Amino acid sequence: MLARNTDPIAAIATAPGRGGVGIVRVSGPQLAPLVRALCGRDLRPREATYLPFLDEHGDALDRGIAIHFPTPNSFTGEDVLELQAHGGPVLLQLLLARCLEAAAHIDEATGRARLPGLRVAQPGEFSQRAFLNGKLDLAQAEAIADLIDASTEAAARSASRSLSGEFSREIHALRDALIHLRMLVEATLDFPEEEIDFLQKADASGQLNSLRERLGEVQARARQGALLREGIKVVIAGQPNAGKSSLLNALAGAELAIVSNVPGTTRDVVAQTIQIHGVPVHVADTAGLRDSNDEVERIGIERAWGQIESADAILFLHDLTRADTPGYAHEDQALLQRIRGTLPGSVPVLNVWNKSDAAPPQLEGSARDGITLSARSGEGLEGLRQRLLEIAGWEALPEGVYLARARHVQALVRVGEHLAIAAGQLAAPMPMLELLAEELRLSQNALNEITGEFGSDDLLGVIFSRFCIGK
């Protein structure tokens, strides 16, 4: 549900906790009376002014920088006041409370409140105001949250490109080409008695093919952008003492998990996000898979299977030094079979043969498929990293990637499906132009969902509710 978007709103715009600077932000119509109450004077537009922030008695709560952004030249498109104070949590709460109190104060001259209805903002409501007032489209608004949440440098740079409008411009270019094609089809429908074949003369088929090619390029960059944002979940699984914890430590470059020769040392999931060429990979080390009478270890093994079921990829670790032991090899195959039976066929299970530095040379041939490495020495780790990127579907694209979300990718897939049906209609000996026009309309609708040219209130509510307070 959309918030009441006509109310003035206020919030602490900086992260919780102590810091050198904290910001309280207010947005709404005609903030001048509130500015005078808090700052003791009017402020020049968009000019930082150092002054005291006044309480109800005229005493200073703090001294800091105040900036007034009159409408429409502000982030939200409304009047915006930013108070940059010292970043103590208690002080910022006092300053926010003072904003609410000053707004509700009844002016004796007018008999009205300075800023009626001022309330604390909901998560994402400042960005929502910017979207509703035409300062940002929906893809750019989402990029704000993505930029804040970015866990890698590549993700941050890609989110910045989306925020600047690069992704939106691509979508608008596709939409404009689609609108032009729809006009041709509608013209043919509206004037069927004309001898001129609008579609053939305007090379509608060539335009549609060009549109589909361009869509493919946008889809490729969007898929990479979604991967940069979400990453993939990789679970390391295998029997006890195969070197799972050592592999996690080697990939992370830190001693995150306890390594021991005692079977069953890892009894719970140890997870870490690593970067491989800017792509976030969420790696989980799990308890060794075996039958156990230890109650705590059994709980860890159950959690390991839970992690396996939710994985995007499995690294099944084999101990190369035990590869010629019949019982060990048989158990490995049984576990592999169970894992593959648990997962959808689309989830890859990669065989990783560990301890190459300790295995006799004659056993290295046991690694018939997969990757051979040594978690201890680091040999083979780069090959594993590259293989993980391949599994994730990462490609080094020649142009900059913009950050995208799963809903963007899904919308582009629907556009492609509708355009494919439209191409089939257009190529038919007797095209059914009504169906062709409908497929083009549905394609445009799917594109519009990305930038928010139209959309349901429920969709907007879900998107902006995931933002932090003050954004």
Q: What is the pLDDT of residues 165-184, one digit of tens each?
A: 889 999 999 999 998 888 88
Residue 89 in marked binding region: no
How confident is the model over 425-448, as a mean pLDDT?
Answer: 88
Instruction: Assign a CATH topology to domain 231-392.
Output: Rossmann fold (3.40.50)
Q: Tell me: is residue 82 an annotated ligand-binding position.
A: yes
pLDDT of residue 61: 95
Higher pLDDT, 461 or 446: 446
* 471 known ligand binder: yes
* Reported confidence tier of residue 364, pLDDT bands at 50, 70, 90: low
Is 345 annotated in a binding site? The answer is no
The pTM is what?
0.70
- Which numeric CATH code is attached to 9-136? 3.30.1360.120
**According to the annotation, is 265 in a ligand binding site?**
yes
Q: Is 311 annotated as a binding residue?
A: no
Distance, in Å, from the CA atom of 443 to the CA atom of 293, rounded to the nearest integer, reads 58
Is residue 286 marked as binding? yes
Of residues 152 and 235, which shows the higher confidence score? 235
Model pLDDT, residue 170? 92
Instruction: Read off the pLDDT band of 300 (50, 70, 90).
Output: confident
Q: What is the pLDDT of residues 11-39, one digit of tens each?
A: 999 988 899 999 999 999 999 999 999 99
Annotated binding-site residue? 262: yes
Instruction: Look up residue 47 and give its two tokens.
Output: 């000019």
Q: Residue 333, by phi and psi: left (phi above 0), alpha (psi -120 to 50) or beta?
A: alpha
What is the pLDDT at residue 197?
64
Domain limits, the chain: 9-136, 160-227+405-452, 231-392
Calculate mean pLDDT across residues 269-285: 84
Contacts of 148 by beta carbon, 8 Å cutoff, 6+ apart = 468, 471
Give the pLDDT confidence score for residue 257 in this predicted structure: 52
261 carries a ligand binding annotation? yes
Would the pLDDT of 308 be above 50?
yes
Is residue 213 over pLDDT 90?
Answer: yes
Work out the mean pLDDT of the chain and round it to a whole number: 85
Which CATH number is 160-227+405-452 given?
Answer: 1.20.120.430
For residue range 182-201, list pLDDT tens digits in order.
888 877 776 665 544 667 77
pLDDT digits (tens, 9 = 90+) for 27-72: 999 999 999 999 999 999 999 999 999 999 999 999 999 999 999 9
Under the phi-then-psi rule, with left for phi > 0, alpha for psi from -120 to 50, and beta for the rest, what region is 118?
beta
Return the SS3 of 398.
Answer: coil
Is 243 annotated in some ligand binding site?
yes
- Would the pLDDT of 352 be above 60? yes
The answer to whether residue 1 scores a pLDDT higher than 90 is: no
State what percent of residues in the chain have pLDDT above 90: 40
Structure tokens belonging to residue 440: 């083009």
470 is in an annotated binding site: no
d(CA 354, CA 101): 65
**Tokens encoding 235:** 């679970």
246 is in an annotated binding site: yes
* Number of Cβ atoms within 10 Å of the Cβ of 160: 17
Residue 201 annotated in ligand binding: no
260 belongs to an annotated ligand binding site: yes
- The helix (run of H) or strand (run of E) holding residue 313 is strand 313-319
| 389-430 tens-digit pLDDT | 888 777 665 556 777 888 898 999 999 999 999 999 888 887
Report CA 36 to chain centroid distance, whole Å: 40
In our burial notation (b when 16+ CB lie closer than 10 A, e otherwise), range 41-56 reads eebeeeeeeebbbbbe
**pLDDT higher than 60, residue 264:** no
